[in-house]
Structure formats: structure tokens, C-alpha cells
Structure 1
Amino acid sequence: MKQIIWFILGIIIASVIFLFDFEQINKVTPYFYGLGILLLIAILVVPESIAPEINGAKSWFRVPGIGSIQPSEYMKIFVIMMLANVTYKHYEIGNADAIKRDFILLLKIAAVSLPPVLLILKQNDFGSALVIVVITLAITFLSGINWRIMLVIFFLIISTVTGLVLTFIYNPDFLLNIFGTYQLNRIYSWLNPFEHAEGIGYQLKQSLLAIGSGMIDGKGLQQSNVYTPEAHSDFIFTIVAEEFGFIGASIVISLYFLIIYRMLGIAMYVRNNLFEFYICIGMVALFTFHTFQNIGMVSGLIPITGIPLLLMSYGGSSVMASMLGLGLVLNVSLKKRDYMFSNDE
């Protein structure tokens, strides 16, 4: 019932978005971004009676009568809007020196994305911080910055990832200064879940057993019998695979692909309207990464990061934030569509 109520509220939020054009949305974007930053700061300083620590992360406000609110979920959408805002305004102003212009744009993008990433990492929510990094990279790579600068950024990313992998292999204790025991345990449990079956690998082991037991056509609705922790939230895809098998899981993946494909089509259609274009690209990155990461982690392909499966995992903040983002994309599609017999040139 709670999930139904959150979806209804999400539909209302998406509907309200249709009342505004993108000139108005562009103007209010910095205020939403600022509100998101204030909430991320507040969650770190308020007492645990208001923002309790859950599963090692302090990421939720406890609101009596409502439940929990997770600001980082809304912050993902606010970051998309703000990155679209600064990129659009940067090219609107223009600059004769292309290289200087590109470096200034990179600094603006970093100034938008770094504060929420650092604040979310401080909450010990590595997954949400990683989502914002991926969104930022997607918008940056499509922002028109000189390919030589982008090549350097790409090289730095590859070097950093390679360095972290080598450090994990040869000196894992050093990574405790960066990630902490909780994140490292997730990597150990991913590498060999059955070796840690009764401890840190228990969740992944149960997920793999549940997915495998579903086989081709599944056990049937509400017939799952393999216990998986957090099956209603981050591991909801495990239940889909167990109850509906490979066929049901494939249908769900296909539906996500369809959503992403349609958003990408809308983005290409409005590519000359930069603010709307970057909002669509940010939402494509958000849905693509959430889907790939969530399904990958429950099936053992990549480490567990606690990222929900959008529109399916239990949680009001995730549902309403997703609907807010989809409302923006649908608004782009509606406002920028050409109609037969239109007077617009």
C-alpha cells in the first residue's frame, strides 16, 4: 500500500512538471540544487533520532507518520538539472578561446558534482555517489569539450581504476583509508560468495541460489522459497528471476531497455536545445547505470553497492525521484514535439 501511495504521489509530481516550461525550470534549478545540498549537510549533523544509521549508512531522515526520506535519491535528479543548467548557460555566453572555454566548463561541472559526491560519501553511501559520478561523466563526454581533453580525462579514469585494482591485490589494507571495512567486505563477498557463505557472502549466495532455482519459467507468483535479505528493495530482481524465471527476467530487462531507448530518442530529437538535451542524457545515464549495476550485483557480475532497481525496488524516495526525472523527460517530449498544421517554423 505504501508503494502504491508513493507511485500516486510520483505521478502527481510528474504531472505538476507539465505545468512549467523549461525556461521556468531552468530558472528554479539552482534553488532545487541548493536545497538538495542543504539536506545532505543536515543529515550529517542532526542526531540519530532524526537520521538513524541503517546498514552502515546515515542517509535517511526519519519522518513520523510518513517513514524515511533519502535526500541522495532526489539529489541525483537535482545534479542532472544543475549540470544541464551550467552547461547550457556556458555555451549561451560563449567564449572565443575554445581551450580556455572547455577548461572553464570542466571547472563548472566539477563545482556542481563534487559537493554532493563528497557529502554522500560522508554518509557512507558509495552507491549513490557512484551514480552521480557516472551521470557527470555522461554529460561531460557529450558537452562538446575538446576530444584531447576528454582523452586525458579517460586516461586518468583508467589509471585510477587500475591503481585501485592493483592496490586491492597487493596491499588491500591501504584501501581501508579510502573505503573502509564495509566496502572491502563487499568486494571479498563478490569475489567468492560461497567461501564467505555464512558471513559477508550470505546475501549474494542466497541471491544466486534463488535466481538459479527459477530456471526457465520460474516457480510462479509468490512461490519463492529461497530467503534473500533485502529482497523487497535492492534485491527485488532476485524475486523476479525466481518466480518468473529466465523468461520473466528477460521481459523486465527488455522493458528497461525500452525506457532507456525512448529517452535516448527524445534526447536526439531535442539535441539543439541544450538544457533539455542534457536533462535527457542525464536520465539515460541514471537509468542505464541503475539497471546495469543492480541486475549485475544480484547476479554476481559486479560487486554489491546497494543501488535500487528504479521503479521496482521498495522505497518512496527512489520512486518519487524517478518519477520526477521521467516527468522532466516527458515534458521535453511534449513541449518540443512538432504537430501537423502547426504554425511554428
Structure 2
Amino acid sequence: MNEENQNHFDIYLLLAIFSLMAVSCVTLVNTGLGTSFFLKQLVWFVLSLIIVAVICFSDFYQIRKITPYLYGAGLLALVGVIVAPESIAPMRNGAKSWFVIQDRISIQPSEFMKVFLILMLAVTIARHAEKHAVGLVPMDLFLLCKLALVATFPIGLTLLQNDFGTSLVMLVILASLVFVSGISWKIIIPIVTTAVLIVAALVGIFLYNAKLLLIFLDEYQLNRIYSWLDPSGNAADIGYQLKQSLLTVGSGMLFGNEEGVPVPEVETDFIFSLVAGRYGYIGGSLLIMLYFVVIFRIVRISIYNAEHPFESLLCVGVIGWLSFHVFQNVGMVIGLLPITGIPLPLLSYGGSSVLAMMIGLGLVLNVSLKTKDFMFSD
């Protein structure tokens, strides 16, 4: 006997998202930069909620069906940014990643490409599982090649834009989905080992002769590593931003301090430093716990949909995307990781990052809407 209960829309996930939005609005008001960023962010939040409402009532079969077209459109947009003249796609902080419309609206295609990449990787894995046995090394290698091919184009095009941070996020999304795709660990372990050895080799090159890294990195990216390792010694130029961030975070102490230290780009990449400065260790910890709630709820939704590979894999991709953003952003603000320009999800000001993340979370909420409980089931 099966007794089917009503569908479970994850209201706790939605409340956590609303809480992050509220924290963002309050923090942006307190940046000392006026109400402009707050008002614009409010507009982006309202627009993103309308999009989420549309997504929640969309059919997942249709979403899966149009995924290749979305992926293709995303690739075309990435190419467009690269070939567009600087009057339309100007350089910002060393990267050419934005379309700018009349100096008012900026659109970053690579942010939306993260969503399209997750969808395309999930579709690829789901289709492979429907046609081939999982766990056989030859078939697993075939799947791995397909996943690598899907991810190579957006990652490569994003690197051509000099946006290393976003490329790294896409790589993490790929790794997240590879780990849960069912590919044999006989294949995964050698890949992980090789990656660790490559990182160790790069560290060795940096210690021996850092200039050799200019083969792979631009000068400004290498300077970010220098500023990370010695923010005080480079406080007058490349380390100024990190030094100011550390001073702001430190001034917050346990319960916060309203008199913070000016931090460049505090409304975007370094907004966590303002939260930690104004609300202290307690406020910063509560914010991180709020992100933990969001991640936990998505993990729960993914597990409950394990019998639906596409939906479950989609949730895993969003988990990897969100988790890495939080880890990297907080880490760079407090000096544990190099500065990469990765925003703090739903907190940092930015239309493209807010809309893209909300589209991803909207898809997760759609999955939760279709989750059902079954009592007295075997």
C-alpha cells in the first residue's frame, strides 16, 4: 500500500534565500556609498523572483529538452564578448567579460553559462546512464570524455576573457558532477592525483622563478598572488585592497564595530568584510551558517530525487557552484586564499550574478516542488 502525500515545496530553502537577500540590502545601505546600489540590487532581486516563479511552474521535461540550445546560446554569448569592440565589451579589472549597454546595464554571459553548463552536464550524464551500464571502465572513460568536451568550450572561452575565477568555478562544477556521476574511482583517483601533482609543480615553479608563471598567467594575476602572500609589504599598491579588508574584518572583533575601514569594491567582491566589520565574528558566523542551511536543503532535495538522475545531478551542480563561491569569497576576504573576483552569492551587488544564481536556485526549488513522500512503501 502506498499513501502519497502532497508535494513538498522547500519553504525553508526559500526563507533562507529571502534572508540572504535581506542581509544584502541592509549591508548595501551601510556601505557609505549612498542608496544607489541598494535600489539597483532591490530591482535585481524582484526581477529574479519573477523569473524563479516562472521556473518553478515549468516542466522539467521541457527544460531538459531545451538544454542543448541554452548551452549553445551561452557559448555564442561568450564568443560575442571576446570579439566585440571595447565600446560594447570593455576591459574591467583585466578581464573582458561584460556587455555594457549605455554605461548603465552590464551583462556577464559567463555567469549564466554556469547554469547552462550544469544543465548540459546533467543531461549528458543522465542520457549516458539511460543507454550504457555504469561502472564499466570503458563506458566510464567514454562518459568522462563527453563531460570534458562539454566543459572545455565554456572554460576555454572564459579563460580567453582573462576571467580565471569564473573558469575555476566551472571546473569545480565539472568536478562536482564527475564525482557523483558513477564513474569508477579507478579513473577518478589517477585524475585527482595528477591534478595535485600539477598544483604542486606550479607552487614549485612559483618558489623557484615566479616569472615563469607568466606563460599561463597575466601580470595582474601574478600580482594578486604577491598581494595575497604579503599584503602588508604591498599595501601601497597591489596589496592595498586585501590590507583594508583585513583591517575591516579585524575591527569588527566579536560583536561588530560601526566605524569600519574603507575597502575598495566593498559592495561587490568584498562585501563580507563589511558584514564582519559591522556585525563582528558573530554576524559573520551567522551569515556562513545561513549559507550552510541553503546548501543543506539542496543536498536534501538532491538525495530525495536520487531516482531522477537529471534533477538530482542538477542539484549537485548548484551545490558545487554555491559552495565554491562562498568558500573562495570568504577565504579571499580574510586572506586565506588569493583574490579571484568571485562574488558572494546573493549578497554581492551585481545583476548578472544575482540573476544567474537565482535561476539555479529556482531550478532547485522546481525539483523540490515535484518531490513526494511515500508512506508504507517498500
Q: State the distance in 1 between where 2:44 and 2:135 align.
A: 48
Indicate the SS of the match to 2:106: strand
User: Which runs of structure 2 are paired with 1:230-241 in the superposition (5 Å)?
Assistant: 230-241=265-276
Indicate the SS of the match to 1:200: coil
Match of 1:57 in 2: 95
Match of 1:162 in 2: 200
Match of 2:152 in 1: 114
Q: State the distance in 1 between where 2:103 and 2:334 align.
A: 35
Cα 1:96/1:42, change in 2 over 3 Å: closer
Offset, 1:95: 4.6
Match of 1:181 in 2: 219
Indicate the SS of the match to 1:171: helix
Offset, 1:156: 1.0
Match of 1:83 in 2: 121
Offset, 1:23: 1.1
- TM normalised by structure 1 equals 0.96
Match of 1:102 in 2: 140
Amino acid aligned to 1:304: I
1:298-343 Cα distance to aligned partner (Å, 9 max, x none): 00001110000000000000000011000000111111223779xx
- TM normalised by structure 2 equals 0.87
Q: State the distance in 1 between where 2:95 and 2:158 align.
A: 10
Offset, 1:270: 0.7
Q: State the distance in 2 between where 1:66 and 1:177 align.
A: 35
Match of 2:179 in 1: 141
Q: State the distance in 1 between where 2:221 and 2:261 align.
A: 25
User: Which runs of structure 2 are paired with 1:301-320 in the superposition (5 Å)?
Assistant: 301-320=336-355
Given that 1:283 and 1:325 are in contact with CA atoms closer than 8 Å, whether structure 2 keeps it comes out as: yes
Compare relative contact order (CA 8 Å, sep 6+) and give the higher one, 1 or 2: 2
Given that 1:224 and 1:239 are in contact with CA atoms closer than 8 Å, whether structure 2 keeps it comes out as: no
Match of 2:166 in 1: 128
Residue 41 of structure 2 corresponds to residue 6 of structure 1: no
Residue 242 of structure 2 corresponds to residue 204 of structure 1: yes
Q: State the distance in 1 between where 2:374 and 2:51 align.
A: 26
Residue 372 of structure 2 corresponds to residue 337 of structure 1: yes
Given that 2:302 and 2:316 are in contact with CA atoms closer than 8 Å, whether structure 1 keeps it comes out as: yes
Indicate the SS of the match to 1:48: coil
Match of 1:249 in 2: 284
Question: What percent identity do the matched residue pairs reach?
Answer: 52
Q: State the distance in 2 between where 1:185 and 1:164 align.
A: 15
Match of 2:69 in 1: 31
Match of 1:265 in 2: 300
- State the 4+ residue runs in structure 1 displaced beyond 3 angstroms: none
Offset, 1:141: 1.0
Given that 2:134 and 2:140 are in contact with CA atoms closer than 8 Å, whether structure 1 keeps it comes out as: no
Offset, 1:224: 4.0
Amino acid aligned to 1:28: I
Indicate the SS of the match to 2:372: coil
1:224-253 Cα distance to aligned partner (Å, 9 max, x none): 431100000000000001111111101100
Name which of 292, 311, 315 aligns with 1:280. Answer: 315
* Contiguous gaps of at least 5 residues in structure 2: 1-38
Cα 1:18/1:339, change in 2 over 3 Å: farther
Report how many residues are paired: 340
